[in-house]
Structure 1
Amino acid sequence: MRSMTGFSREDASADWGRLELELRTVNQRHLDLNFQLAAPLRSLEPAFREQLRGRIQRGKVDITLRYFPEQQEGALRLDSDRLEHLQRAMEEVEQRIVGIAQPTTLDVLQWPGVIASSAANAQALEEGAVALFQQGLEALEQAREREGARLADIIRERLGAIEQEVAAIRALLPSIIERQRQLLVERANAASLDLDEHRLGAEVAMLVQRADVAEELDRLTSHVSEIRHQLGSQQPVGRRLDFLVQELNREANTLASKSVVKETTHRAVELKVLIEQIREQVQNVE
């Protein structure tokens, strides 16, 4: 099981310069990929996007790849097309914003792509970026798996507590029915009512029917078992866990509505607290 929350930071250096990669993921219902790639590497976005879609099912993913070129000795070669496009953009800005400060020659030279790199360096840079992305993606998955294991431990702990509450309610049921029967007799006597055994049996039967929560307890136990099974799955289970938690909450609400004594009411409230704690963790599961 993997968490939707994770982070990795990797860097690489070679003759072409230095690369810094950051991958950050947070929980979200669907997959949302946000790229911020250095200008010379933007052509790699489709390939990176395809890889991420194959390995991450949902969550918001921020991908930041920075490039710091190596200072080369000798003459610099300018990219004429890039420089012409930049000049046109600056002229348009000057027409729209009067009095804007003019860029210096150094500012222009530092603009991404103005200084052309050789084809060999460009290819080596892309190869380095691809390798770094693979390294960062592996580190991100490991971080998400570690966080997922931590979430699974928390969920299992809460499931154990739910099982204890269910067992306690089961143990209370016989005494609850007998206590309600005694209370019914005491009230009848206090009101000087003649409550024969047949009538008493009918009233007790109605109480038993109202207070019978065996089915709810059975379904709670079944859902807990299924959640435990899903925690060991090798596939993304976040949506399935979310559904199962909703079913747990539904049974806990029914249990509370059928409660006839404060003991079961208290247990039902404890169940809802535990289920809510599980739901908070499940929101981060992929």
Structure 2
Amino acid sequence: MRSMTGYAALDAHGRRWELRSVNARGLDLRVRLPDVSGLEPRARTALSVVAARGSLTLSLRMDDAGGGEGPALDEAALSRALEALARIRAAARNADVMLAEDRATDLLSLRGVWEARAGEAAPLTVLEGEMAELIAAWDADRVREGAGLRDVLTVQIDEIGALAERAAELAPARAEHIAAGFRDAIARVRDAGMDEARVAQEIAALAVKADVTEEIDRLRLHVDAARKLLGEDAPVGRRLDFLSQELIREANTLCAKAGMAKMTTIGLALKAVIDRLREQVQNVE
């Protein structure tokens, strides 16, 4: 099991790598890398192999600490940008379109206008190796947190299972409690001179609807399914989230049908534990 949240950093020869991730419904990759040919698509591929869900941000900052003199202006690229700008302005004048004044900072911010000096840029293979080391460290951080999540979820699922068993143990006493209430209702109907047979039929129908055996059985099934998911070596966050929704549905029904204070108490305890479970499941990949 892996958490969707994780962090790792790597410093190497004047370069600072960082990779962080937070919860998300799907996989969202945000890559902020220097203009090194081929690096970004390889980064996206490498991250997609390791991560199934989460919002990931990968960044690489390069400075002068590696012994380079800093980037230099690419005169040829700048000339091409100026020529293109002149053509655009000429076309705009012919079309009677007014354009805003150009600023030098706008031109200098264009990709490709700056070039790395000799000795500053690392080979692509070196950057790939550093990136692989960073991703491995980040994934190890997710595994570490995932182990803690598994322990927390195991405790919560066991508690849900125990409460379901308490509900099952209480079911016979609850059935007798409800039957006694129905008998009292029939007695009052008899005293009022109403059609006792018709009322008995209605009460029998209500008794069938009030049965909680199916809810308890489904709670047990969902608990067993959740325990199996915790043992899988694969992303299980979405399936656990679905199970938690099913669990809360059964707990709500159990509370609605309770008909007895002790059963209501169990139902409310179930809802509280399942709510905590749902919060934790949001962190699971």
Describe the superposition over 1:4-60 as per-residue Cα deviations: whole angstroms up to 9, x where unpaired: 1111111111xxxx1111111111111111111123x36410111111111111211
8 Å contact from structure 1 (residues 19, 129) kept in 2: no
3-state SS, counterpart of residue 63 of structure 1: strand
Identity among equivalent positions (%) equals: 36
The SS at the match of 1:249 is helix
Cα distance, 1:125–1:258 mapped onto 2, change above 3 Å: same
Note if contact 2:177-2:260 (Cα within 8 Å) is conserved in structure 1: no
| Residue 131, structure 1, aligned to residue 129, structure 2 | yes
1:113 is displaced (CA, Å) by 6.3
- Pick from 149, 158, 161: which aligns with 1:163? 161
Q: What's the counterpart of residue 26 of structure 1?
A: 22
**TM-score normalised to structure 2 length:** 0.79
Counterpart of 1:141, as a letter, is D
In structure 2, C-alpha distance between the alignment counterparts of 1:89 and 1:68, rounded to whole Å: 31
Query: For residues 96 and 176 of structure 1, do their structure 2 counterparts lie closer, same or farther at Cα, with a shift above 3 Å needed?
Result: same
Runs of 4 or more consecutive aligned structure 1 residues displaced over 4 Å after TM superposition: 85-92, 95-100, 184-192, 198-208
Match of 2:275 in 1: 276
Q: Determine helix, strand or coil for the equivalent of 2:63.
A: strand
C-alpha contact 1:7 1:140 (8 A) present in aligned 2: yes
State the Cα RMSD in Å. Answer: 3.5
Retained in 2: the 8 A contact 1:6–1:26?
Answer: yes
Distance 1:179 1:77, change over 3 A: closer
Aligned to 1:245: 244
- Does residue 8 of structure 2 align to residue 12 of structure 1? no
Is the contact between residue 11 and residue 132 of structure 1 (CA under 8 Å) also seen in structure 2?
no
Whole-angstrom distance in 2 between the partners of 1:186 and 1:77: 94
Q: Distance in 2 between matches of 1:135 and 1:78?
A: 32
Q: Number of aligned pairs?
A: 267
1:141-176 per-position Cα deviation (integer Å, ceiling 9, x unaligned): 111111111111111111111112111111111222
Specify whether residues 77 and 183 from structure 1 end up closer, same or farther in structure 2 by C-alpha distance, changes over 3 A only: closer
What amino acid is the match of 2:139? E
Aligned-pair CA distance for 1:272: 1.5
Q: Mark the runs of 5 or more structure 2 residues left unpaired by the alignment.
A: 89-97
Deviations along 1:228-259, whole A, 9 cap, x unmatched?
11111111111111211121122112212222
In structure 2, C-alpha distance between the alignment counterparts of 1:85 and 1:276, rounded to whole Å: 60
The code of the aligned residue for 1:131 comes to G
